[in-house]
Amino acid sequence: MRGYLAHLRVERGLSQNTLAAYLRDLSRYAGFLRGRGITGPGGVAEEDVSAFSQAIRTGEDGGRPLAASSAARAVTAVRGWHRFLLDEGTTPTDPSAAVRPPQVGRRLPKALSVEEVRALLEAAAVDDSPVSLRDRALLEILYATGARISEAVGLVVDDLDAGSGVLRLFGKGRKERIVPVGQYAWAALDAYLVRGRPALASKGRGVPEVFLNTLGRPLSRQTAWSVLQRAAARAGLGGQPTGQAPAAPDGVIGGDGGARADRHISPHTLRHSFATHLLAGGADVRVVQEMLGHASVTTTQIYTKVTVDHLREVYATSHPRAH
């Protein structure tokens, strides 16, 4: 399994987050196989793979029951490992070939309205402190570019090109893309870089990341999630209560302060809103695909269903013979 994960990292260029998820899934699979008395990949049969697929949904293997999406990822990891063993000549057959991952229902993303996004962004900063300037700049960038949270916290200063009004993002598999940034986001980012980041950086050892925590270290995804939750609560959109402080210092692992308890607003909500608002404004789906960093336009087309609903609503309330 370590060899397979190394293959995914080197040959396929999968992100550290995906590799960590695959490691958890394969470790659980290995434990499941040991529980059935199987000590090597050659002893695995199709019924073992099928039983694992069912066990992770119910928790019968002693682990936490997984939702369909997480179970599908786990089965995909298992199938990939068995294919790898077959390709390497380690096993003569692939016992997972006929086992299909659980079907995952495609739910339409819940985008915020333009007014809700405006309220959220305005609530990000409570004063002119370095942390408030950082929080406003972070949320402005998330909405202005449709960046994933890992892409935003991974930004380094050299990725910014204020002269051209663009920045460089590195998506899944370190795939690079260039995304334009609007004036509101640039203004917030410039204010943070001039008046906020130097104060935070002075407490650390000089890292290149754009967004820093109060210790001068790169901002973690957990803390970035907390930033959004607190802003959402102040804007009346749900999230972490305004007066609830994080359980650990800003930037320390585990310091999201329970912000995950209410997932109504997440960093991906701003990504959904970015795509939906662009399409509703007439942007071409291929352009939105490029800015989101989707490998296939099929993934992007889910947002067109949201805008069709909006068009239908406008038609029903505006056309004299809509009823």
Q: Name beta bridge partners: 156.
A: 209
Considering the candidates 24, 83, 172, 177, report the single residue annotated as catalytic. 172
Considering the candidates 73, 136, 148, 217, report the single residue annotated as catalytic. 148
Respond yes or no: is residue 303 known to be catalytic.
yes
Respond yes or no: is residue 73 known to be catalytic.
no
Considering the candidates 234, 272, 277, 294, report the single residue annotated as catalytic. 294
Respond yes or no: is residue 29 known to be catalytic.
no
- How far apart CA 193 and CA 188 sit, in angstroms, is 9
Respond yes or no: is residue 110 known to be catalytic.
no
- How far apart CA 279 and CA 311 sit, in angstroms, is 11
End-to-end alpha carbon distance in the chain: 61
Considering the candidates 22, 29, 192, 303, report the single residue annotated as catalytic. 303
Q: Are 230 and 268 in contact (CB under 8 A)?
A: no
- How far apart CA 27 and CA 21 sit, in angstroms, is 10
- How far apart CA 202 and CA 275 sit, in angstroms, is 36
Considering the candidates 73, 197, 230, 271, report the single residue annotated as catalytic. 271
Residue 158: HSE in the Cβ half-sphere, 13 Å Cα cutoff: 3
- How far apart CA 194 and CA 188 sit, in angstroms, is 10
Considering the candidates 7, 57, 268, 310, report the single residue annotated as catalytic. 268
Tell me the DSSP string of 177-194. EEEE--HHHHHHHHHIII
Residue 71: HSE in the Cβ half-sphere, 13 Å Cα cutoff: 24
Residues involved in catalysis: 148, 172, 268, 271, 294, 303
